Amino acid sequence: MRRIQMTEHSLLKQLEPADAKEMFWLTDTNRSYLRQWLPWLDYTKRVEDTEQFIRMTMNQYSNNQGIHYGIWYKGRLAGTIGVHNIDWINKKTAIGYWLGAQFQGKGLMTNAVSAYMDHLIFTSWGLEKVTIQAATENYRSRAIPERLGFHLEGVLRRNEFLYDHFVDHAVYSLLRSEWEEIHRRKKMLD
């Protein structure tokens, strides 16, 4: 399984069927908190549903369409990060993520998105552009691309149906040239 060590205590590790039990527990114990912003909670009722999702991500990986990682913090599964298929023709992709509520506030997701871009999107895969979409009122999620220097491209109106209502999406993007510039500046400061 592929892995990326982020800090002494945090690690990205490719999701595998053996993670299904812990991932389902994390989902099930965070159901109402996650349901506010994610559309798939009602389709995840049993460990087998989580295992099916993990197998889907493994197929995605085999088809060269991106990888889903579990985010591990001090040996516990804290959340996940992955991409929604890669558009190889236009050299771009979109990142999606979530954390259990108890793992918020530690910079885990900001670090995970940054590591994902450093190791895969702009390096191994050589893509030109990455996007992150979040509901306009999902301020914690929007803060992640904002913290990492993404640009706000605009708002997609009534873009997602969440159980009983539509939400608008803010669309953020980062280009390869911008990512290189951020790294160049970081190096100068080191």
Ligand X SMILES: CC(C)(COP(=O)(O)OP(=O)(O)OC[C@H]1O[C@@H](n2cnc3c(N)ncnc32)[C@H](O)[C@@H]1OP(=O)(O)O)[C@@H](O)C(=O)NCCC(=O)NCCS
In whole angstroms, what is the distance from residue 164 CA to residue 154 CA? 24
Least Cα distance to 138 among 106, 174, 98 occurs for 98
* Residue of 86, 94, 108, 170 that binds ligand X (CB under 6 A): 108
In whole angstroms, what is the distance from residue 160 CA to residue 175 CA? 25
Q: Which residues contact 148 (CB under 8 A, 6 or more apart)?
A: 110, 113, 114, 117, 174, 182
Q: Which residue is nearest to ligand X (CB)?
A: 107
Residue 33 vs 125, nearer CB to ligand X? 33
* Residue of 102, 138, 159, 173 that binds ligand X (CB under 6 A): 138
Stretch touching ligand X by CB under 6 A, among 18-26, 41-49, 82-90, 99-107: 99-107
Q: From the CB of 126, what's the least distance to ligand X, in Å?
A: 25
Stretch touching ligand X by CB under 6 A, among 8-16, 50-58, 106-114, 155-163: 106-114
Least Cα distance to 169 among 35, 37, 12, 1 occurs for 37
Residues that bind ligand X (CB under 6 A): 34, 37-38, 97-99, 104-110, 134, 138, 140-141, 143-144
